Amino acid sequence: MSHPVPDVLALHGVVPPLVTPLDEHGDVDRRSLERLLGFQLEAGVDGVFVGGSSGEIALLDGRQRRAVVEVAAGTVAGAVPVLAGVVDTGTRRVIEHARDAARLRADAVVVTAPFYVQPHASEIVAHFRHVHAAVDVPVVAYDIPSAVGARLTPGVVGELAEAKAVVALKDSSGDLASFREILRQADLPALTGSELLADTALGLGAAGLVPGLGNVDPHGYVRLYRAMRDGDAGAARAEQDRLAALFRIVSVADPGRIGFTAGALGGFKAALALRGVLACPATNLPLLPLNETETRTIAAHLAEAGLGEV
Amino acid sequence: MSHPVPDVLALHGVVPPLVTPLDEHGDVDRRSLERLLGFQLEAGVDGVFVGGSSGEIALLDGRQRRAVVEVAAGTVAGAVPVLAGVVDTGTRRVIEHARDAARLRADAVVVTAPFYVQPHASEIVAHFRHVHAAVDVPVVAYDIPSAVGARLTPGVVGELAEAKAVVALKDSSGDLASFREILRQADLPALTGSELLADTALGLGAAGLVPGLGNVDPHGYVRLYRAMRDGDAGAARAEQDRLAALFRIVSVADPGRIGFTAGALGGFKAALALRGVLACPATNLPLLPLNETETRTIAAHLAEAGLGEV
Amino acid sequence: MSHPVPDVLALHGVVPPLVTPLDEHGDVDRRSLERLLGFQLEAGVDGVFVGGSSGEIALLDGRQRRAVVEVAAGTVAGAVPVLAGVVDTGTRRVIEHARDAARLRADAVVVTAPFYVQPHASEIVAHFRHVHAAVDVPVVAYDIPSAVGARLTPGVVGELAEAKAVVALKDSSGDLASFREILRQADLPALTGSELLADTALGLGAAGLVPGLGNVDPHGYVRLYRAMRDGDAGAARAEQDRLAALFRIVSVADPGRIGFTAGALGGFKAALALRGVLACPATNLPLLPLNETETRTIAAHLAEAGLGEV
Amino acid sequence: MSHPVPDVLALHGVVPPLVTPLDEHGDVDRRSLERLLGFQLEAGVDGVFVGGSSGEIALLDGRQRRAVVEVAAGTVAGAVPVLAGVVDTGTRRVIEHARDAARLRADAVVVTAPFYVQPHASEIVAHFRHVHAAVDVPVVAYDIPSAVGARLTPGVVGELAEAKAVVALKDSSGDLASFREILRQADLPALTGSELLADTALGLGAAGLVPGLGNVDPHGYVRLYRAMRDGDAGAARAEQDRLAALFRIVSVADPGRIGFTAGALGGFKAALALRGVLACPATNLPLLPLNETETRTIAAHLAEAGLGEV
């Protein structure tokens, strides 16, 4: 049961935030999750992130959350780091989740600013420091203002890095100027969550990529990352352009009918089902499913991007 | 251990959203919570709401959350309804909390729209319907856009009321025009969370009040409610004016130093400690405490409002 | 050409923010505006407000803006105060408009916080003080955060009232708690822009009403105002309920097709055209018009409210 | 009086959005503006943009606005294109300003989405098409959601480019992913307003730069632009890093005392006064001035960036 311990202190490369496959009863579909993990590892990813926003973390109950970490840690078996999202509103809630994740052998936990409450920057710093002090697993900071309302500013990230309270940053702020400032100043690996500025962020010094679209096309992001690593910006850019066209799958759903999250995550899952990786494209309660027309549009985008069944 | 079963289908009157007393170690201070419950019952409240926003629900861990419901249900013993907040981001998480609360003998659970995710109105309706179907305890809808981002519109509330998926509404939207539309159309008791428009909301047909400031001065809100019930709008208004002055305790903290939530909930707790109800004014991680100057200002506001030790 | 000078220092009653009638060429339709003014005066309004948000002030050019004030001042001829909106982004721009309006015999000008820029509260106060000092006509403060982004807080309004820089407030904040605080503290007449809480605001001490829906049904708001003045809250409430149903005309337009402003102002103008007051329901560039289906829905709402041709 | 007509259809390079120098009476300081224009031309800029956000366009009255265009067109005399901001809330207002600017020999006008009103995307398109049809001068689209609330999406820009209603885009959205999509799809030169991602945007295909900080250090942005043009990304990046440090001058002001706009534009003007380009750092009503401490911090940032008197 012992396996190599991945070095999360040197987090880098492609680390997709995996969707959480569900069966038709709404339970975690362990077989599909294993298949997804295998598909990712075969593509050459450098880590996996389960229980992130793409993993519907906000919609999973405790049993689902634990199942996901357990399957991921068991399947990956130390080949690459397994990051587990422990997204919750407050410090104590996050610590509870983080201890669960550590027990289930996650290599790091991914933590956002507190939400529901309206924290001051100094309270955001305190949140991360308390989580760090309470758990026996490295903490990755996750900046996602579209979901939590607050920002992790360059000042906050710098303070956390200096205190060694966090070992890395996932930036999903959409604000590349602020991300660049963090790259300039903070002494920690910073990864971008952007699907559309992956080559750009790497060019600015990002350590890696956490693209939701990497669920559907990990080979594409691995090629992009390696091209940048090898100094071939032109090849990376061509790959990025192809992936930008594919990214339209997150916005095929009718915003008059279902929500943004349902459309985006439903788009990833529909594409993975069409590619034969997931048995079923279901999302969790209370998200509504894509309809047939929308699914056909996704199939067309896959075909255009040259992606078939795996 | 059997006690009368309060009729939450006829929820009405003053139902304060209680703070969660903590001791200096950060554990729930059961003794102070019992004292707070006694103080409220003695003042004549018609229900209590534990684990709401004022109860720091977003910051409590599972043990704290269960302790609060257990102490409240045991102490109140059926004298009035005990509502338990089961605030979380998604349907399955809420169902987990709601089953806990029901097992601990809460008379109803209080549920917000999903958050972190960006739901469509039809997904918000689905959320409440799934929670209602899954738990054996009445559901109260809680509209609090400042915390969750989404609104419970008159259309959503009307649909939930008609489906009997919720038995009441707590409105903390700050939008009295929309609340009035709900009072016109929806067939369910609707309570306002406003500290400042309590008499006005009752005059428009609200069934009751859920004022955070009721922690500090339940007698005031009970007098206000009874005056409105007895048709004495002038007396209610005088009481409301006095309470509006007292409400300044939520904004004494310096916004350059600590967050809004820390200032507001810290203000309630400092006042309750000054009045001798709580042993300690501590708030939960990661909120920062009020300082001495701020606490002295709160003491001055209490004195001005005629509130001493109890 | 001399006429009585209305006392804007005692602004009160029903003061509808009039739409700006346009002909099919997009020019101000002076005949229709005269008819609208006559319709309002006949209904018993206590003032008129031209060039407000309902008057498409943001979309009028200088010639249109001057025409509107000129026709209003000439037609009303001192019977009631004529307020002119001088809405613009900065102090100097507002002063230019205000001098034009004063020259054209407006009795007061209505001024918002600066926008496009991001002002501090102290700069908002400075804005009003500079405008007041520069023009020879009373200034009414206009709080409309949905359009300008900033708030006129009770503190700002109190400071302006004490300095006698403004003579009245029009509150379109949608925040009745803050409006009530202003009524408690500031020594100036405060009018509400709410269509839906008119009776409530008057009950709290508002001096009057500035409802966009008053374009379509001034008789209704005059009856409501007089009922409150005469202590008949029940009659006022019945009128308010009828007007709330009529207010649906602002939201019949499809938000997937045209903007909120186009739908709301188009709804007022379509109703006025259906009632025979305006010759043409056109709105200004670049707003798109309502379609036939939407116009038929408006006709149905008018019929339901008992409003026919005048 | 005839001079070469610059080709705004091929807008490119460094086009700083110039501040509007004022004297101690608040009038446009023509001498300082001439000096600023000379300073910019000597540095090698490829165009100048007067009356933009940095030019306090929202705070200028008609006389100031006209003076600025007149001085700029006269001083530049065809050496490079002179762009004039014609920022206003609605189509007709914008057309008025644009005709003024064309008469005063601006080479192009710069137009935002409508604001104060809440337009639909199709109304934003209509706005630009009407302005284009009404004026005899090329139109540059200006995306600045922080000031106007609305976005110019890739779809809107693509439609405007295809209709030849606009000849270029200035992007101040802060959203580089969307800007990149416009660069991929729209057939028009697109310039970034970002001070901090200038090299990055050029690397993605931006035609040029419109950085407010270019007021203070045009030589830096010209070097950066030329380095990118000549394929020396490393030199461009070193320049960008130096400019990022200098950009701190926009945030030295205390946000508890004056607004963001006052601090940022006051920072540019204080720096230009310290460098000897402006006679006076005054900003327009109602912005409050920087204080001495803040001005000393700006002097320190200038020194650190190697910028002295010119």
D257 touches chain C (CB under 8 A): yes
How many angstroms separate the CA atoms of B29 and D66, rounded?
69
Asked if D261 and C90 count as a contact pair (C-beta separation under 8 A), the reply is: no
C-beta neighbour count of D306 within 10 angstroms: 10
Domain that holds residue A87: 8-231
Average pLDDT taken over every residue of chain D: 97
A148 touches chain B (CB under 8 A): yes
Phi/psi-derived region of residue D105, left when phi > 0, alpha when psi is between -120 and 50, beta in every other case: left
Closest Cβ–Cβ partner in D61, D88, D130 for C286:
D130
What is the arithmetic mean of pLDDT over D97-109? 98
Closest Cβ–Cβ partner in D194, D204, D244 for A200:
D204
Which residues from B are below 8 Å from A117, CB to CB? 58-59, 147, 259, 261, 287
Closest Cβ–Cβ partner in B92, B120, B285 for A61:
B92
Neighboring chains of B (3 or more beta-carbon pairs < 8 A): A, C
Which residues from D are below 8 Å from C114, CB to CB? 58-59, 286
pLDDT at position B7 over 90: no
> Do A93 and B148 make contact, defined as CB atoms within 8 angstroms?
no
Provide the pLDDT for residue D7.
82
Q: Considering the entire predicted model, what is its pTM? A: 0.97
> Do D260 and C115 make contact, defined as CB atoms within 8 angstroms?
no
CA-wise closest residue to D150 among D182, D120, D175, D107: D120
Closest Cβ–Cβ partner in A177, A197, A241 for D196:
A177
How many angstroms separate the CA atoms of C163 and C139, rounded?
12
Q: Tell me if A277 is assigned to some domain.
A: no
**Amino acid in position D305:** A
Asked if A36 and A70 count as a contact pair (C-beta separation under 8 A), the reply is: no
Whether the upstream peptide bond of residue C17 has omega within 30° of 0, thus cis, is no
Q: Tell me if B300 is assigned to some domain.
A: no
**DSSP string covering D2-18:** ------GGG--EE--B-
CA distance C210 to chain B (A): 16
Asked if B12 and B208 count as a contact pair (C-beta separation under 8 A), the reply is: yes
* pLDDT tens, position by position, D3-57: 677 888 889 999 999 999 999 999 999 999 999 999 999 999 999 999 999 999 9
Q: Residue C7 is encoded by which pair of tokens?
A: 């006392």
D192 touches chain A (CB under 8 A): no
DSSP 8-state class, residue D42: H
> Do B119 and A259 make contact, defined as CB atoms within 8 angstroms?
yes
How many angstroms separate the CA atoms of A193 and A17, rounded?
9
Place of tokens 């045991």: B74
Buried b (16+ CB within 10 A) or exposed e, B265-277: bbbbbbbbbbbeb
Sign, CA torsion D126/D130/D133/D136: negative
- How far is it between the farthest Cα atoms of chain A? 51
Q: Tell me if C286 is assigned to some domain.
A: no
CA-wise closest residue to C288 among A256, D149, D114: D114
B255 touches chain C (CB under 8 A): no
Asked if B23 and B280 count as a contact pair (C-beta separation under 8 A), the reply is: yes
In angstroms, what is the C-alpha Rg of chain D?
18
> Do C260 and D89 make contact, defined as CB atoms within 8 angstroms?
no
* pLDDT tens, position by position, B58-105: 999 999 999 999 999 999 999 999 999 999 999 999 999 999 999 999
* pLDDT tens, position by position, A258-281: 999 999 999 999 999 999 999 999
- Which H or E run includes C142? strand C139-143
* Annotated catalytic residue B221: no
Asked if B60 and A92 count as a contact pair (C-beta separation under 8 A), the reply is: yes
How many angstroms separate the CA atoms of B190 and A123, rounded?
34
Provide the pLDDT for residue C120.
98
Closest Cβ–Cβ partner in B180, B196, B197 for C196:
B180
Distance set, CA A168 to CA A104, A143, B203 (Å): 21, 11, 54
* Annotated catalytic residue D142: yes
D185 touches chain A (CB under 8 A): no
CA geometry: angle at D212 spanning D211 and D214, to 5°? Answer: 70
CA distance B218 to chain C (A): 20
Provide the pLDDT for residue D33.
98
> Do A197 and D177 make contact, defined as CB atoms within 8 angstroms?
yes
HSE of B122, CA atoms in CB hemisphere, 13 A: 11
**DSSP string covering B78-111:** TSS-EEEE---SSHHHHHHHHHHHHHTT-SEEEE
Provide the pLDDT for residue C3.
67
How many angstroms separate the CA atoms of A207 and A220, rounded?
17
* pLDDT tens, position by position, B16-44: 999 999 999 999 999 999 999 999 999 99
* pLDDT tens, position by position, B169-224: 999 999 999 999 999 999 999 999 999 999 999 999 999 999 999 999 999 999 99
Distance set, CA C156 to CA A75, B165, C88, C204, D122 (Å): 62, 44, 19, 20, 37
What is the arithmetic mean of pLDDT over A31-35? 98
A251 touches chain B (CB under 8 A): no
- Which H or E run includes B48? strand B48-50
Q: How many helices (H) and strands (E) does chain B have?
A: 12, 8
Asked if D198 and D192 count as a contact pair (C-beta separation under 8 A), the reply is: yes
State what percent of residues in chain B have pLDDT above 70. Answer: 99
Which residues from C are below 8 Å from D254, CB to CB? none
CA-wise closest residue to B227 among B242, B239, B213: B239
> Do B180 and C203 make contact, defined as CB atoms within 8 angstroms?
no
Per the annotation, binding residues of D for pyruvate are 210
CA distance D228 to chain C (A): 33
Confidence at B1, pLDDT banded by 50, 70, 90: very low
The answer, yes or no, to whether ipTM is higher than 0.85 is yes
Torsion angles phi and psi, residue D301, rounded to 5: -65, -40
Provide the pLDDT for residue D1.
45
Q: How many domains does chain D have?
A: 1
Which residues from B are below 8 Å from A59, CB to CB? 89-93, 114, 117
A310 touches chain B (CB under 8 A): no
Q: Residue B120 is encoded by which pair of tokens?
A: 């469509």
Provide the pLDDT for residue A1.
45
Q: Tell me if C293 is assigned to some domain.
A: no
Q: Residue A101 is encoded by which pair of tokens?
A: 């994740």
Q: What is the CATH number of the domain that holds B101?
A: 3.20.20.70
Provide the pLDDT for residue C236.
98
Which of B146, B153, B176, B213 best tests the C interface by mutation, with the highest count of C CBs <10 A?
Answer: B176
Buried b (16+ CB within 10 A) or exposed e, C17-46: bbbbbbeeeeebbbebbebbbebbbebbbb
Catalytic residue among B116, B164, B170, B269: B170
> Do D176 and A200 make contact, defined as CB atoms within 8 angstroms?
yes
Catalytic residue among D116, D142, D221, D269: D142
Determine the straight-line distance between the first and last CA of chain D, rounded to whole angstroms: 30
D134 touches chain C (CB under 8 A): no
HSE of D224, CA atoms in CB hemisphere, 13 A: 30
Asked if C164 and C151 count as a contact pair (C-beta separation under 8 A), the reply is: no
How many angstroms separate the CA atoms of C1 and C77, rounded?
9
C61 touches chain D (CB under 8 A): yes
Provide the pLDDT for residue D2.
56
Q: How many residues does chain A have?
A: 310
DSSP 8-state class, residue A17: B
DSSP 8-state class, residue C28: B
Which of B91, B122, B285 best tests the A interface by mutation, with the highest count of A CBs <10 A?
Answer: B285
How many angstroms separate the CA atoms of B153 and B125, rounded?
10
Give catalytic residues of A, as residue numbers.
Answer: 142, 170
Asked if D198 and A201 count as a contact pair (C-beta separation under 8 A), the reply is: no
Catalytic residue among B116, B142, B221, B269: B142
- How far is it between the farthest Cα atoms of chain C? 51
> Do A181 and D244 make contact, defined as CB atoms within 8 angstroms?
yes
pLDDT at position B161 over 90: yes
Q: Residue A211 is encoded by which pair of tokens?
A: 């693209």
Residue A291: CB partners within 8 Å, gap ≥ 6? none
Strands C48-50 and A108-112: unpaired
Neighboring chains of D (3 or more beta-carbon pairs < 8 A): A, C
Which residues from C are below 8 Å from B197, CB to CB? 176-177, 180
Whether the upstream peptide bond of residue A114 has omega within 30° of 0, thus cis, is no
Query: How far is residue A130 CA from its own chain's centroid?
Result: 23
- B26 CB burial (10 A radius; 0-12, 13-18, 19+): middle
How many angstroms separate the CA atoms of B193 and B208, rounded?
9
C241 touches chain B (CB under 8 A): yes
HSE of D126, CA atoms in CB hemisphere, 13 A: 18
How many angstroms separate the CA atoms of B72 and B55, rounded?
12
Which of A115, A285, A288 best tests the B interface by mutation, with the highest count of B CBs <10 A?
Answer: A285
- Which H or E run includes A146? helix A145-148
DSSP 8-state class, residue B51: S
Q: Tell me if D261 is assigned to some domain.
A: no
How many angstroms separate the CA atoms of B210 and B218, rounded?
10
Residue C292: CB partners within 8 Å, gap ≥ 6? none
CA-wise closest residue to C277 among C17, C10, C31: C31
Whether the upstream peptide bond of residue A138 has omega within 30° of 0, thus cis, is no
Q: Tell me if A250 is assigned to some domain.
A: no
DSSP 8-state class, residue C9: G
Query: How far is residue B27 CA from its own chain's centroid?
Result: 21
Q: Tell me if A286 is assigned to some domain.
A: no
> Do C286 and D91 make contact, defined as CB atoms within 8 angstroms?
yes
Asked if D183 and D190 count as a contact pair (C-beta separation under 8 A), the reply is: yes
Closest Cβ–Cβ partner in C181, C184, C196 for B177:
C196
What is the arithmetic mean of pLDDT over D260-283? 98
Provide the pLDDT for residue A3.
66
pLDDT at position A79 over 80: yes
pLDDT tens for each residue of chain C, 310 residues long: 456 778 888 899 999 999 999 999 999 999 999 999 999 999 999 999 999 999 999 999 999 999 999 999 999 999 999 999 999 999 999 999 999 999 999 999 999 999 999 999 999 999 999 999 999 999 999 999 999 999 999 999 999 999 999 999 999 999 999 999 999 999 999 999 999 999 999 999 999 999 999 999 999 999 999 999 999 999 999 999 999 999 999 999 999 999 999 999 999 999 999 999 999 999 999 999 999 999 999 999 999 999 999 9
Paired with C140 in beta bridges are: C110, C168
> Do D115 and C117 make contact, defined as CB atoms within 8 angstroms?
no
Q: Tell me if D130 is assigned to some domain.
A: yes
**Amino acid in position C14:** V
Provide the pLDDT for residue C8.
82
CA distance C206 to chain B (A): 14
CA distance B94 to chain A (A): 8
Place of tokens 């710098």: A158
Q: Residue B21 is encoded by which pair of tokens?
A: 């007393």
